[in-house]
Copies of this chain bind each other. A is one copy, B any other.
Amino acid sequence: MLDLQSMNNVEKSAMSPREARELFRAGQVLPTAGISAGYAQANLMIVPQQLAFDVLLFAQRNPKSCPILGVLEAGQTSSELLAGGDIRTDVPKYVVYEDGVKVAEPTDLREYWRDDLVTFIVGCSFTFETALMENGISVAHIDQGVNVPMYKTNRRSTTAGTISGPMVVSMRPIPAARVADAVRITSRYPAVHGAPVHIGNPGELGIEDLAAPDFGDPVEIPEESIPVFWACGVTPQAAVMESRPALAIGHAPGHMLITDIRDTEYQVP
């Protein structure tokens, strides 16, 4: 069998999503950035049926932070987003929460699975980062080899049933002369967070120190750049956790579901 750890970047990038998922299913574990280039990667949020309406309504009311790419109903473990796959095994690493507290980071969900679990597959900004780079706008955290910095803000998401929480944003410094282009380019990807929610002054979002993100890693901000903030897929996960459900499962940070859908399919005119 192929060994992900020993592959170079070109080999990882050229793998099909199905091949990558098969390697994860066989137990290999690696962050997914750079694997199966051109295919959309996605966040996971798995909850019991009882909470599913609230989660879906939260997504409907907060589409910029929680863009739903697909839903596996109770009892379903696959769909056309992961053809021939199994959501319980095809993500490299998961996080299991009980009563809102992390209890495990398994690489296989089968021992936790219940037939009443509903899986939400949520868009991820990896898709528009590719588009930014193809348009000559460099992405600082990729250049610097770290995870994107994410911050809790003073803006509340719109509540849905039992689910409520702060809007979480990701930040990318963009050269002042390219901010308008970055807005235009990311606006064309509404299924993966779309246009920025805030440009410039972090203080207005209640962010005191850009160097101390709540999630991910700090990045250096080049002198000619200003901070640009996008709604972040961590928002629904943070909100669901606040409601302390008996069981909830997500993907481990950076270890995403690699879908069969091409990034370009999420582009609107």
CB distance from A80 to the nearest CB of B (A): 10
The answer, among B56, B61, B160, B187, for a CB contact under 8 Å with A57, is: B56
Tell whether, in the assembled complex, residue B68 and residue A60 are in contact, meaning their CB atoms are under 8 Å apart: yes
Chain B residues with CB under 8 Å of A238's CB are none
Question: For this complex, into which size category does the number of interface residues on chain A fall?
Answer: 10 to 19
Q: A73 interface residue, CB < 8 Å from B? A: yes
Chain B residues with CB under 8 Å of A57's CB are 56, 71, 73
Chain B residues with CB under 8 Å of A56's CB are 53, 56-57, 60
Interface residues of A in 42-99 (CB under 8 A from B): 49, 52-53, 56-57, 59-61, 68, 71, 73
Main secondary structure of the interface of A (DSSP, over half): helix
- Closest chain B residue to A161 by CB distance? B73
Tell whether, in the assembled complex, residue B53 and residue A60 are in contact, meaning their CB atoms are under 8 Å apart: no
Q: A269 interface residue, CB < 8 Å from B? A: yes
A57 to B61, CA, bound (A): 14
- Closest chain B residue to A73 by CB distance? B161
A68 to B61, CA, bound (A): 10
Copies in the complex: 2
The answer, among B52, B59, B61, B68, for a CB contact under 8 Å with A53, is: B52
A60 to B187, CA, bound (A): 20
Chain B residues with CB under 8 Å of A61's CB are 71
CB distance from A172 to the nearest CB of B (A): 22
A68 to B160, CA, bound (A): 15
CB distance from A135 to the nearest CB of B (A): 18
A49 to B49, CA, bound (A): 13
CB distance from A66 to the nearest CB of B (A): 11
A265 to B179, CA, bound (A): 24
A52 to B52, CA, bound (A): 10
CB distance from A171 to the nearest CB of B (A): 24
Chain B residues with CB under 8 Å of A71's CB are 57, 60-61
CB distance from A205 to the nearest CB of B (A): 23
Chain B residues with CB under 8 Å of A68's CB are 60
- Closest chain B residue to A195 by CB distance? B269
A61 to B59, CA, bound (A): 13
- Closest chain B residue to A55 by CB distance? B53
Chain B residues with CB under 8 Å of A73's CB are 57, 160-161
Further pairs besides A56-B56, A56-B60, A73-B160: 6, Cβ < 8 Å: A49-B53, A52-B53, A57-B71, A59-B60, A60-B68, A61-B71
